[in-house]
Chains A and B, each alone.
Chain A
């Protein structure tokens, strides 16, 4: 539900949080990164120009994952050696958030999962096996990434980070998990690799000359 509009402390443009739990957003007008405090908006930085976009997904795209309807509220863009990828912040209509990873159009949807203890980064190697949610995962990629930019609404503050390491894990049945080592404590996201068509996405970006 839309919240009462506040004004961008930098340029005065109206700021609307589409999702009540959003903590961070960007001003569409002046690209200021804004953090919601109890009473006000605080400008914490400015987004640099985003790289030329290639994803068919955009803020406002809606879809279905695991019988749950979602809307794309924001994204984080990462750079790594082989290019860049998007982590789209999905707001689930029944509450909560999830992430749609869009890396070279391999799509995966994950949700945060509490699991203790998570392995320290220094102890994880490719091929290592872990089990969460009764699914056997194998570490298939360790990626060092740089934050390239943010857009839209995010469920936490992501404005002051520079670099992060991610461990991607997969299962024999198409499950997908990511260990996020961007913070002091590792975070775990668990979900599935998904087919583009299976997400039944609406309000996709239009590409000139493509249908």
Chain B
């Protein structure tokens, strides 16, 4: 076999005589003189001049200089070609850059850049299957995003295919997306080439290729940019529905199996003028497992209040659960008619009380000098609760709504640039 090929071949531009650097070892089909912008036929030993072009607005400067090498996707690659491609939509031109990368072992791939958004692209191996407005490729569905006509408007370096500047027949580029991937078909004449791109961060490219400075910041939302949230709105709602269902099941089980065992009930009367109002109730037993305990207070208050300092005390350990409840009920008539406020009944649930013998210490208070208040204290163990489920449901719903809203906004911004801008919250499009 021949000796290892030299790293670069030295040639001169037949037009201006400037030295040319060839990096892709005989694979180049097109090579561009970066001095006089002659596009040369690299397959011709005489480097026939195919086309010359003047960059209308001066030289475009590739962000990744040609000749830069880096380790990318597990192999060494060198940037050998750069082209700017331009499309026109409703009178506005959009341009993006394409950087051809070469490895003598792995061949070619390229990086595309638009407004700081990068894609790592390579030619596909299997044949994508058109399926109406979407395309299937290796089991994944890609949604149609945009079809446009693109032309090459600037070129540097070398390419393994023919490059023509401002070609008469534009290439029809159609993008189908499944973020972070984009599947693109390029139709020139009757030939169609499919490439698969994956969204990559500029910073990762800068690091891999040791490009000086910082990658330009990404502006806006790009067609196949993955959402930072990493979940779609439908995934969010799916998780929400799953958790809400689980919660409903627990709620139902709790409702069905709660024993609602009444363990104590007694009626008392309180005279606010008496000196020592504090007393203790007889013992009662909380049987079974650790469960919640409801203390219900019914007081015959009318336009007044009674405040009860309660302590549920474990007879054996002396452990006390202190809580205070106010029962107040008011009625009256004003310009809007009659009104009421408060209630003659108060309920409170103490969570997780271990079984054992207990008694209540009760210390009532009220306005002095308004007569006796009759009240009943009832203690029930293992009662079903639903208020915590309401709170939990709200705690589930709130992040789901926020997540879905942010995702929705992101998708709105993504699709706003497409042929199918979204116009309603339900995600409909204007096909």
Contacts and interface: CB of A to CB of B under 8 A. Distances in A.
B72 to A, nearest CB: 14
A141 B5 CA distance: 31
A61 B83 CA distance: 35
Interface stretch (B22-30, B298-306, B312-320, B358-366): B22-30
A58 B1 contact: yes
B91 interface: no
B24 A54 contact: yes
A40 interface: no
Which of B2, B4, B105 lies at the interface centre, i.e. has the most chain A CB atoms within 10 A of its CB? Answer: B105
Contact of A196 (B29, B105, B160): B105
A208 B26 contact: no
Contact of B126 (A54, A56, A171, A197): A171
A104 interface: yes
Given A206-B4, A207-B25, A104 B107 contact: yes
Contacts of A208: 4-7
Interface in A120-166: 126, 138, 140-141
A211 B27 contact: no
A56 B105 contact: yes
A211 B105 CA distance: 9
B405 interface: no
Interface in B359-384: none
A173 B127 CA distance: 7
A211 B76 contact: yes
B27 A54 contact: yes
Interface in A75-122: 82-83, 104-106
A66 interface: no
Interface of B: 1-2, 4-7, 9, 24-27, 29, 43, 74, 76, 103-108, 123, 125-129, 136-138, 160-162, 190-192
Contacts of B160: 82-83, 104
Interface size classification for chain A:
20 to 34
22 contacts: A51-B26, A52-B9, A52-B25, A56-B104, A104-B27, A104-B107, A106-B107, A106-B123, A138-B127, A171-B127, A172-B129, A172-B137, A172-B138, A173-B138, A174-B126, A195-B125, A196-B107, A205-B1, A207-B104, A207-B105, A208-B6, A211-B76
The secondary-structure label for the interface of chain A is: loop
B125 A174 contact: yes
Q: Which 3 A-B pairs have the closest CB atoms?
A: A105-B107, A193-B125, A52-B26
A59 interface: yes
A206 to B, nearest CB: 5
Contacts of A30: none
Which of B9, B106, B125 lies at the interface centre, i.e. has the most chain A CB atoms within 10 A of its CB? Answer: B125
Nearest to B1: A58
Interface string A176-211: 000000000000000001011100000011111111
A76 B87 CA distance: 41
B29 A83 contact: yes
A104 B108 contact: yes
Nearest to A50: B2
Contacts of A59: 1
B127 A170 contact: yes
Contacts of B123: 106
Given A105-B105, A172-B137, 8 more contacts: A53-B26, A83-B29, A83-B160, A173-B126, A195-B125, A204-B105, A207-B4, A208-B7
Contact of A83 (B1, B43, B136, B138): B43
A174 B4 contact: no
Nearest to A59: B1
A54 B127 contact: no
A174 B127 CA distance: 7
B122 to A, nearest CB: 9
B262 to A, nearest CB: 70
Contact of B2 (A53, A104, A204, A209): A53
